[in-house]
Homo-oligomer: A and B are copies of this chain.
Amino acid sequence: MEGGIPDVHLRRFPKFSHSAQRAHFGRFAILNFMPNKKTLLSHPIEHIDIKQHDVRDIVDAMHRMAYSSRDLARAAEIYERMLRDQECGVILCLAGSLISAGLKQIFVDLVRNNMVDAIVSTGANIVDQDFFEALGFRHYIAGDEFKSGMRDGELRDLMIDRIYDTFIDEEELRICDETTRTIADSLPTRPHSSREFIRAMGVYLEQQGKTPAKGGADSIVLAAYEKDVPIFCPAFSDCSAGFGLVAHQHARPDKPKVSIDSVKDFYELTQLKIANPTTGLLMIGGGVPKNFAQDIVVAADVLGTEAPMHKYAIQITVADVRDGALSSSTLKEASSWGKVDTTYEQMVYSEATLALPLIAGYAYHKHAHAERRERRWSRLLEPVTA
Task: Name A residues whose Cβ lies closer than 8 Å to a Cβ of B.
Answer: 2-5, 9-11, 18, 22, 25, 27-34, 43-49, 52-53, 55, 57-58, 61-70, 72-74, 77-78, 80-81, 84, 95-97, 100-103, 122, 124, 139, 141, 145, 147-157, 160-166, 170, 177, 191, 234-238, 242-243, 245-250, 258-267, 270, 285, 287-288, 291-292, 295, 298-299, 302-303, 318-327, 329-330, 332-333, 335-338, 342-344, 349-355, 357, 366, 368
Determine whether the beta carbon of A261 is less than 8 Å from that of B259. yes
Chain B residues near A29 (CB, 8 Å)?
30-34, 154
Chain B residues near A295 (CB, 8 Å)?
238, 242-243
Determine whether the beta carbon of A335 is less than 8 Å from that of B261. no
User: Given A78-B10, A80-B5, A324-B165 in contact, is the A335-B262 Cβ separation under 8 Å?
Assistant: no
Chain B residues near A333 (CB, 8 Å)?
149, 152, 162-164
Determine whether the beta carbon of B342 is less than 8 Å from that of A153. yes
How long is the Cα–Cα vector from A157 to B283 in the complex, in angstroms?
Answer: 26
Determine whether the beta carbon of B235 is less than 8 Å from that of A288. yes
15 more A-B contacts (CB under 8 A) besides A163-B329, A236-B262? Answer: A10-B344, A28-B33, A29-B32, A48-B62, A61-B357, A62-B353, A64-B102, A66-B166, A70-B141, A177-B302, A235-B262, A250-B267, A259-B263, A350-B351, A354-B355
Chain B residues near A102 (CB, 8 Å)?
64-66, 69
Chain B residues near A124 (CB, 8 Å)?
291, 326
Some 10 contacts from A to B, beta carbons below 8 A apart, are: A9-B77, A29-B154, A66-B166, A68-B351, A163-B329, A164-B333, A191-B191, A262-B262, A319-B319, A319-B320
Chain B residues near A122 (CB, 8 Å)?
288, 326
Min CB distance A108 to B, Å, is 15
Task: Identify which of B68, B156, B324 contacts A67 (C-beta below 8 A).
Answer: B324
Q: Output the residue of A32, A270, A353 with the most chain B CB within 10 A.
A: A353
User: Given A66-B324, A329-B164 in contact, is the A238-B352 Cβ separation under 8 Å?
Assistant: no
User: Given A53-B57, A319-B319 in contact, is the A238-B45 Cβ separation under 8 Å?
Assistant: no
Task: Identify which of B70, B287, B321 contacts A327 (C-beta below 8 A).
Answer: B287
Chain B residues near A58 (CB, 8 Å)?
48, 53, 55, 357
User: Given A52-B57, A65-B101 in contact, is the A261-B191 Cβ separation under 8 Å?
Assistant: yes
Determine whether the beta carbon of B368 is less than 8 Å from that of A96. no
Determine whether the beta carbon of B354 is less than 8 Å from that of A68. yes
Chain B residues near A47 (CB, 8 Å)?
65
Closest B residue to A264 by beta carbon equals: B259
6 interchain residue pairs of minimum CB distance: A149-B332, A148-B148, A65-B102, A69-B353, A259-B261, A235-B235
Chain B residues near A237 (CB, 8 Å)?
234, 262-263, 265-266, 292
Determine whether the beta carbon of A5 is less than 8 Å from that of B149. no
Chain B residues near A303 (CB, 8 Å)?
246-247, 250
Closest B residue to A292 by beta carbon equals: B238
Chain B residues near A141 (CB, 8 Å)?
64, 66, 70
Determine whether the beta carbon of A67 is less than 8 Å from that of B165. yes
Determine whether the beta carbon of B74 is less than 8 Å from that of A9. yes
Min CB distance A356 to B, Å, is 9
Chain B residues near A366 (CB, 8 Å)?
3-4
Chain B residues near A242 (CB, 8 Å)?
262-263, 266, 295, 299
